[in-house]
Structures are given as C-alpha cells and as structure tokens.
Amino acid sequence: MSTTDAPNSSETTEDTKLTLTVAVDAPQTCLRHVVVTVSRADVERYLKNAYDDLAPEASVPGFRAGRAPRKLVEKQFKDRVADQVKGQLLMDSLAQVTEEQAFSAISEPDFDFESVELPESGDFRFEFKVEVRPEFDTPEWKGLSLTEPDEQVDDEAIDASIARVMSRYSKFEAVDDAAKSGDRLLVTATFRNGSEVLSEMEEEHVELGGGLSFPDGRCEDFGKLMEGVREGESRTGKVTLSQEAHPELGGKEVEAEFKVVEVSRNEAAKLTPAVLEELGDFETEAELREFISESLQRQIDYRRQRSLRSQITKTLTADANWELPPDLVRRQTRRELERQILEMRRSGFQEEDIRNMVNMARQNAQTQTEAALREHFILEKIADDQDIDAAPSDYDDEIALIAEQSDQPERRVRARLEKTGQMDALRNQIVERKVIEMITADATVSKEKAEKKADGGNASRDFAVDHSLVPAKDELPEAKYDDKTKGEASETPTNKS
C-alpha cells in the first residue's frame, strides 16, 4: 500500500485545495482500492460556507427570513446541510485525487453514496474502488517481420457477390422436392440434454449450406444433416455448446431435433434496370460491378488488416498477463462487439457475415474481450507515446463509408452513433488502425498467397440465428447489428431488404 499526503495549507478560502490523505492499494493490475481522508478543518470550512450561503434566506418559525440566530439555523437545517456538504466534499476530493494520483482511471469510482457519512467530529473518511489503465513498459514494436494475405478481386468474386445481392430479389416458392444447398428451410427445433429440454426454437427461416450458429453454440454439420429433407420431416443432430457461454456444459454435445415446416427454392432474379435503380441508382451493370469491386477490395483490406493486427498484437501482448477486473470485462463485451461491427460495416460485409461474427464472438466473449482489452491498452499506450489521435476528418471519413454501405445519409449515421454511444468505439477503431499502420510501415512485410474458396468463400459459411440454446438469467450483453431490421444486409449497395 502506498500513502500520499497532500501539502498542508492554512488558507480557508473556497479555492484552496483540500488537505487530503490518500491511501492507494493495488489488489489487481487494473484495480485500485483508494481510502481518502479529508481533514476536519476542511469539513468545518465547507460547513461554514454552506451555512453562510443559507443564513440570509433561511426561514425559521418565529423569525423573519434571514433574521434567525445562526445556532437556530444550524439546528434547523443540520441534516440538509450535512448531506449537501458531504456531496461537495466527495466531488471535490474525487476530482483532486484524480488529478494528483499517478493512476489513470477508466471507470467511475465504485462506492455507495448513501453509506458514506459526514461525521459530527473528526476527519471525513471514505473509500472506493476504481478501474485503471495498467502500468507497463511500452513493448518494442519497431522492425517486426510480418506476412499479409495476397488476395485480388476477380470476376468470379464479383459474380458471387452479385448473386448474393440478387438472392434478396429472388422469389422463394414452396416446393415438395428434397432440400438442397441454397434452399431456404422454415424450421422449428427442440434442444435436449438427455431427457431435459433445454429450449425450443420457434419457426426460423434458415439457409441450407454450411453450419448453423447460435449465440451460445454451433451445429457444424447442419448442411449435411438437412440435405435431402422434405416438408414435414425431422432430422436429429448434435449441437456443441460454447465453453464460455455455459461453463457447466461447455464443449458438451446436446441433441437437436429440427422439424421442417417448409422447403422453399428461389428462381434467380434478373438484373433489370428497375433492380439496378433500387440497388443504388446504378445506370448499368458495369457501374454495379465497379461498386461491388470496390466493396470487395475493402473486405480484402479488412482481412489484410486483421491478419497484420493479429500478428502484431500477438507479439506485443506476449508478456501482457495482467489480471482484468471481471466487471470491466463484462462491460467491455458489448463495446468490443460494437467495434467489430463498425469495422465490418465500413468494410462492406453482408448482414449474414456480421450476424455470424456476433454469434461467434458471444460464444467466446470473455476470452475475446480480455484479449481485446490487452491489445487496446498496449496500442493506446503506443498512440500516446507517438501523439496519435483521431482527427475530426477521420470521423467524417469513417461515417461516410458506413453511410455509403448502408445507403443512409451521413447525418443519420452520425446521429445514430452518437445516440448509442458508439462514437467512442469509433475513436478507438480509428486510433488503433493508425497505430497498426504505423507499426506495419516500420516492419518487414512479405506476401502469402491466400487460399481461394469456392463461391467467393460463401458456400460453406454458417447461417446465424438469434436463439440461445440454453437461456440464462445473466446472459452476455447483446450487441445488435444495427437499428434496422436484422434481415438487412451490409455489403450490398443499398442494404435494402
């Protein structure tokens, strides 16, 4: 434990700093337990000032306003003034502690206002806990050796992307045929652990292709399991529960019975002038292809940046084994999801991809959030060392990209981000990207051929549904993809459903 005494002062004016004794204990790297003692002289000074302000207007029975003896005023308004002074002393002393102490707080102090009492004699003492930035030496970031994926946008990728866009304009019709990849199934499901029913999923439209992801688990072989199924039939398979979402059942395979209410198949819609106009006022298919090419290039840039960031942060956080406060991790879970959603949205990913990311992130929320916090603290420290920050123009550029991908006015996008408190997440995203770019520029970077996947990498992707396999009272916080309907897309030119 360390104790810091503020300088003594004989002044008695309002502007004088408080005479404090501050004892700081560090039970964890990112947590401080602080005990603050305010001298009795300061308590008396604050009480005197409070009564001085009150006396000229105090109304005491039997006396004209402002004419009552001072002792009667003090007796009449004792509780009210004590509560007022307690609040003033707490605010002023907390501000002074924040200014004078070496730690950098990242949360509001945690203490119960009602449990703090202003004593009738002696010093005023209170304590609190506060989360702080960890203290560490900046790791060496110069001269790293990195590899980056070598990807190119080609006609095949553009065709696959257009096919995904056009699938929303295709008309699905119920069929009696056996289901095949690309069909849409309307299913209900029952999930069991032995004889115990964990949950029941009401009717959900799912696309038959790869796996099926949930916020707390995944059915890896859903596509194979349901291939060939017909309306009215049921199939039973296995779903693996997330270790972090359900520590007591994590990694366990539970039984899932899927019942098919309907099988529907679509006919590919044609790229007519009307569709081109609805997609974003495109006059020709060539204009649409150019737009999608730019969007796909942003996705390539996103994957490249994620790959470089992963290599860089793995190196920088090798020795960052700080213990993180559980409350901080829980609060940051939503913020980390929001940051990833913003990154994917600006990079032109479809809503299905974002939903999959959210489900996967929620399955491994604690591990991912702890890793992201460690990365953030280190990247933020490097940013401070190098005077890197987000400029107003950076916010404008980010908002413009998000607005372009969602076909919404920039003003509306900005208002939504401000209303939902995501501007801070946007700032972190900008600063961390700048730091990664600076480290990359100083590194030796070699290219590595990226593996090309069939159908633009979309054939075997999971389909995400928002149903918890095991509902819990204390579920991890949700991070919604947007304030639009969850069926809307984010990669398409207009994102209209």
Same domain, 285 and 261: no
Residue 335: pLDDT over 90: no
Give a yes or no: residue 47 inside a domain.
yes
User: In which band, very low, low, confident or very high, does the pLDDT at 495 lie, cut at 50, 70 and 90?
Assistant: very low
Per-residue model confidence (pLDDT) at position 245: 67
Of the residues 106, 131, 156, which one is the last residue of a structural domain? 131
**Is residue 228 within 8 Å of residue 179, measured between CB atoms?**
yes
Highest mean pLDDT among 132-136, 166-170, 266-270, 367-371: 132-136
Residue 310: strand, helix, or coil = helix
- pLDDT for the residue numbered 371: 87
Residues 239 and 292 in one domain: no
Residues 306 and 447 in one domain: yes
Query: Per DSSP, which regions of 137-195 are E strands?
Result: 145-150, 171-174, 184-193
Question: Number of structural domains, the chain?
Answer: 3
Give the helix ranges, DSSP H, for 194-325: 222-226, 273-280, 285-316
Q: How confident is the model at residue 479 (pLDDT cuts 50, 70, 90)?
A: very low
CATH number at residue 293: 1.10.3120
The gap between the terminal CA atoms of the chain, to the nearest Å, is 59
- Other beta carbons within 10 angstroms of residue 150's beta carbon come to 12
Average pLDDT, the chain: 83
> Residues 112, 10: one domain?
yes
State how far the Cα of 219 lies from the Cα of 238, in Å rounded to an integer. 6
105 strand-pairing partners: 132
* Range(s) of the domain holding residue 90: 2-131
Asked whether residue 304 falls in the same domain as residue 442, the answer is: yes
In a domain, 491, yes or no: no
Q: Is 404 found in the same domain as 357?
A: yes
State whether 208 and 95 are in the same domain.
no
**Beta partners for 189?**
201, 258
487 lies in some domain:
no
- Express as a percent the part of the chain with pLDDT over 70: 88
Domain boundary pick from 267, 284, 312: 267
Domain end position, chosen among 223, 240, 267: 267
Do 305 and 448 share a domain, yes or no? yes
Per-residue confidence (pLDDT) for residue 34, from 0 to 100: 94
Residue 219 lies in a domain: yes
Tell me the per-residue pLDDT of 217-262, one tens digit each, with 9 for 90 and over.
Answer: 999 999 999 999 999 999 999 999 987 767 777 678 999 999 999 9
Interior CA angle at 90 toward 85 and 93, to 5°? 115
129-133, 252-256, 373-377, 401-405 — which is least confidently predicted? 401-405
Check residue 39 and give its pLDDT: 94
Largest CA distance in the chain: 95
Same domain, 151 and 294: yes
Model confidence at 484, in pLDDT bands (50, 70, 90)? very low
* 287 found inside a domain: yes
Q: Any residues with CB less than 8 A from the CB of 431 and at least 6 apart, and which?
A: 379, 380, 383, 388, 389, 390
Shared domain check, 237 and 177: yes
Asked if 288 and 161 touch (Cβ cutoff 8 Å), the reply is no
Confidence of residue 391 (pLDDT cuts 50, 70, 90): very high
Per-residue model confidence (pLDDT) at position 235: 96
Per residue in 23-43, pLDDT tens?
999 888 888 999 999 999 999
Residue 12 has pLDDT above 60, yes or no: no
The residue count of the chain comes to: 497
* Per-residue model confidence (pLDDT) at position 488: 36
Say what the pLDDT of residue 102 is: 82
**Does 184 share its domain with 221?**
yes
- Domain match, 257 and 295 both: no
Average pLDDT over residues 265-286: 84
- Tell me if 388 is assigned to some domain: yes
Mean pLDDT of 51-57: 83
**CA-wise closest residue to 207 among 248, 249, 163:** 163
Is residue 255 assigned to a domain?
yes
b vs e for 198-224, b when ≥16 Cβ sit within 10 Å of the residue's Cβ?
bbebeebebbbbbbbbbbbbbbbebbe
Whether residue 495 is contained in a domain is answered as: no
333 has a pLDDT exceeding 50: yes
Q: What's the pLDDT tens digit per position in 137-186?
A: 999 999 999 999 899 899 999 998 888 788 777 788 899 999 998 899 99
Number of other residues whose CB lies within 10 A of the CB of residue 345 = 22
pLDDT at 487 over 70: no
pLDDT for position 454: 43
Residue 98 has pLDDT above 80, yes or no: yes
Q: Say whether pLDDT at 199 is over 90.
A: yes
Strand partners, 38: 20, 124
CATH number at residue 126: 3.30.70.1050
Sheet containing 2-5, strands listed edge to edge, beginning at the edge strand earlier in sequence: 2-5, 20-28, 31-38, 124-131
CATH number at residue 191: 3.10.50.30
Report the pLDDT value the prediction gives residue 153, as an integer from 0 to 100.
92
Closest Cα partner for 254 from 195, 197, 192, 201?
192
**Amino acid making up residue 422:** Q
Residue 138, pLDDT score? 92
